[in-house]
């Protein structure tokens, strides 16, 4: 399997996917035809979302088609099966999972990625690759009828990871939220993936990439700092 | 119905429930025996959680018993039926709802509150009073097998409301999250309830209380500022 799982979509300069463009190019190799899954987009139309991603990847020769334009659910499943690259965008993780589940696409995506089709996801699209979506930061705006996701990796990603709170705010910190997850799911590992970083999954090894250290959380242990280039 | 739905548990001085103690005293009136539902607590034991709340309410003469100490599920349901006051603490909303649903307590709580038993909730306990838990900020650490909640009020509360982000963070703002909720649930109204404030529900009227303005969000409209003392 080959996956790139990005914490977020925009680099410090605000340009879409630009911070990971070299890694995306390497992931794609000679593959050109990408199927894009825009279902996490809620406040922008799926066609606008697709256009944004198409524009971002055009310079590296990746051709982006939206799964939603494939027509029937059967045609969408066939589009996944025929894709050279699967791309899952960020937005709301609950809506992403709900829509994939409704359309019967979860098994189709997991199957092709396990068969070797590269997978690129960011934010909600990174959460979707995990065993469950239970480490998302998103608001549960729709019920996805089960939190089980693609289960392509065995760790849980917490994207947009930071432990900072707005000044004076008394809500839970991210570390407190992850600690709660690990009480309820003590057999799991969580990677707190800061903005700007990604996980590169391939050949049985998952490596932290990007400029920043990440944190690995396990039940009953202090978080472990992971440096870029380290296997998680 | 009489409800106090607090955004959070601690005032600026850090003391537990102290900022709303006068309002809690007025809610209780001559009632003394409160049943406390500690299920939102994840990283602290339910007995420790109950002790904290008991200590906070002892000065105003409210006696706090944990629902979890009532024994069998039938005894817990009977404890709800016999309570003079129902108190639901904050923590993780998903675990709170999941546990209430597993134990068959949702109908029992809704029934006594509709029958006149006062309800006090904060944070996750305020979310539980809403039609669904879909406007919680919490991490979905367990699947509550449906997002439907007590449905005691017809608005959705977003507790710990702020639109601030940690500096440099690119995750969604709270307003963006609420906007996503309203795209998926366009018939709903969301009250962004800042820390320190609460909603006072009684006699067909729901009033904003506390020191700070709140925001009312509806689909397709700019948020409306609510001043303390205003009906929502």
Annotated catalytic residue B19: no
Smallest Cβ–Cβ distance between A139 and the set B8, B142, B180 belongs to B180
Smallest Cβ–Cβ distance between B166 and the set A133, A164, A177 belongs to A164
Beta pairing partners, A182: none
Closest residue by Cα to residue A18 from A135, A122, A145 = A122
Q: How distant is the alpha carbon of residue B208 from its chain centre?
A: 14
Annotated catalytic residue B187: no
Closest residue by Cα to residue A128 from A32, A3, A1 = A3
What distance in Å separates the CA atoms of residue B212 and residue A21, rounded to the nearest whole number?
45
What pLDDT score was predicted for residue A70? 85
Render pLDDT for B29-81 as a digit per residue (tens, 0 to 9).
999 999 999 999 999 999 999 999 999 999 999 999 999 988 899 999 999 99
Render pLDDT for B96-131 as a digit per residue (tens, 0 to 9).
999 999 999 999 999 999 999 999 999 999 999 999
DSSP state of A173: P
Is 90 exceeded by the pLDDT of residue B210?
A: yes
Compute the average pLDDT of residues B132-144: 98
Q: Which two tokens stand for residue B161?
A: 């409301």
Q: Where does the pLDDT of residue B172 fall: very low under 50, low under 70, confident under 90, or very high at 90 and above?
A: confident
C-alpha dist (Å) from residue B45 to B31, B48, B51, B182: 27, 5, 10, 35
CATH 3.40.50.720 fits A3-153+196-204, yes or no: no
What distance in Å separates the CA atoms of residue B77 and residue B105, rounded to the nearest whole number?
6
For residue A165, list chain B residues with Cβ-Cβ distance below 8 A: 166
With contact defined as beta carbons under 8 Å apart, do A226 and A215 qualify?
yes
Mean pLDDT of chain B: 96
What pLDDT score was predicted for residue B205? 93
Smallest Cβ–Cβ distance between A143 and the set B147, B172, B183 belongs to B147
Which residue in B123, B154, B187, B203 is the catalytic one?
B123
Q: How distant is the alpha carbon of residue A51 from its chain centre?
A: 19
Q: Is A178 on the interface with B (CB under 8 A)?
A: yes
Question: Which residues have a Cβ under 8 Å from the Cβ of A205 and sit 6 or more positions away?
Answer: A231
What distance in Å separates the CA atoms of residue B223 and residue B232, rounded to the nearest whole number?
12
The size of the A-B interface in CB pairs under 8 A is 112
Render pLDDT for A160-218 as a digit per residue (tens, 0 to 9).
999 988 877 878 899 999 999 999 999 999 999 999 999 999 978 999 999 999 999 99
Q: Is B170 on the interface with A (CB under 8 A)?
A: yes
Helices then strands, each counted (H, E), chain B? 7, 11
Compute the average pLDDT of residues A89-103: 97
Mean pLDDT of chain A: 95
Q: Is the ipTM of this complex over 0.90?
A: yes
What distance in Å separates the CA atoms of residue B188 and residue B184, rounded to the nearest whole number?
9
Run of H or E including B216: strand B214-218
Q: CB–CB of A180 and B142 under 8 A?
A: no
Q: CB–CB of B164 and A166 under 8 A?
A: yes
What pLDDT score was predicted for residue A140? 98
Q: Is the pTM of this model over 0.90?
A: yes
Closest residue by Cα to residue A102 from A37, A45, A152 = A37
């Amino acid at each position: 399997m080959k996956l790139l799982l990005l914490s977020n979509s925009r680099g410090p300069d605000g340009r879409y996917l630009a911070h990971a463009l070299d890694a995306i190019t390497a992931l794609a190799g000679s593959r050109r035809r990408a199927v894009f899954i825009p279902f996490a987009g809620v406040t922008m139309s799926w066609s606008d979302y697709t256009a944004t991603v198409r524009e971002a990847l055009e310079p590296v020769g990746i051709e982006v088609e939206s799964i939603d334009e494939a027509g029937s659910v059967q045609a969408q499943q066939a589009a996944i099966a025929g894709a050279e690259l699967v791309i899952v965008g960020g937005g709301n993780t609950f809506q992403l999972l709900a829509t994939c589940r409704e359309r019967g696409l979860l098994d189709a995506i997991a199957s092709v990625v396990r068969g070797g089709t590269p997978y690129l996801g960011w934010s909600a699209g990174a959460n979707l690759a995990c065993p469950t979506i239970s480490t998302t930061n998103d608001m549960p705006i729709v019920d996805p009828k089960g939190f089980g996701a693609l289960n392509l990796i065995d760790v849980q990603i917490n994207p947009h990871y930071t432990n900072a709170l707005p000044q004076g705010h008394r809500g839970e910190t991210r570390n407190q939220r992850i600690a709660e997850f690990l009480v309820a799911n003590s057999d799991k590992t969580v990677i707190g993936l800061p903005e700007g970083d990604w996980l590169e999954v391939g050949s049985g090894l998952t490596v932290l990439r990007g400029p920043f250290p990440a944190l690995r959380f396990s039940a009953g242990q202090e978080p472990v700092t992971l440096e870029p280039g380290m296997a998680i």
